[in-house]
Amino acid sequence: MNQELPIGILAGVVIWSTTSAMTFGLRRRRLRRALIEDLKHRVSNLDDIFSYLEAHFIASVRRGEKLEDYPRYTKDTFPFYEDIRGDLYKYFGTRKCVAIMRCYEALEEIEILMSGLSQDFHDYAKHDKQLTGDDVAFLERKKDRIISVIEVLKRREFRGIGDLPTDYRGMVSAAQIIKK
């Protein structure tokens, strides 16, 4: 009787720790796969954003021209990332957590900049204003920042979390957008 209790406790601890380790590994693998698929999808959409920018700028942003009112850009949200952000530190090391968070921040910045650029186009069209040299330069700087963020994210082919960029030095700084 005295030996059965410690053996039972030991067996329970072994079963619990094995189950916990297997559950952790399974959750981590599923989270990694879901993150990879979400990021692959979002990175592949950057080509569409780049094409949209090039088409609209080449066609319409010129000094002395008036902008047409384009459909507004609908800013994307990141519900999957919002749901898992608090759990990243449990399943990934510091370096990978930072890479994931910085990537999503860059993707969110693209969305914010595109939404702002779309609003600028709308405002210029609404006021039926001819673009001045300063207006064109301002819009060009915004476009350059968006393209620089896209280029940083697409610098390497993305196959997994280890392929996420860690060096964001190629980005045009936000301060350069607002300079006169």
Q: What is the mean pLDDT of the chain?
A: 85
Kindly tell me the sign of the dihedral angle through the C-alpha atoms of 13, 15, 16, 21. Answer: positive
Q: Is residue 127 part of a domain?
A: yes
Rounded Cα gap, residues 148 and 171, in angstroms: 5
Half-sphere exposure of 79 (CA within 13 A, CB side): 0
Residue 62 scores a pLDDT above 90: no
Q: Is residue 20 part of a domain?
A: no
Q: Is residue 17 part of a domain?
A: no
Residue 33 scores a pLDDT above 90: yes
How confident is residue 1, by pLDDT bands cut at 50, 70 and 90? low
Backbone angles phi, psi at 66, to 5 degrees: -105, 140
Residue 108 scores a pLDDT above 90: yes
Please, what is the Cα angle at 40 between 36 and 41, to 5 degrees? 120
Q: Is residue 15 part of a domain?
A: no
pLDDT at res. 58? 67
Note the Cα 94 to chain centre separation in Å: 18
Range of the domain at 79: 31-178
Q: Is residue 19 part of a domain?
A: no
How confident is residue 5, by pLDDT bands cut at 50, 70 and 90? confident
Q: Kindly state the average pLDDT of the residues 104-130.
A: 88
Please, what is the Cα angle at 47 between 144 and 101, to 5 degrees? 75
Residue 161 scores a pLDDT above 80: yes
Note the Cα 131 to chain centre separation in Å: 31
Domain total for the chain? Answer: 1
Q: Is residue 6 part of a domain?
A: no
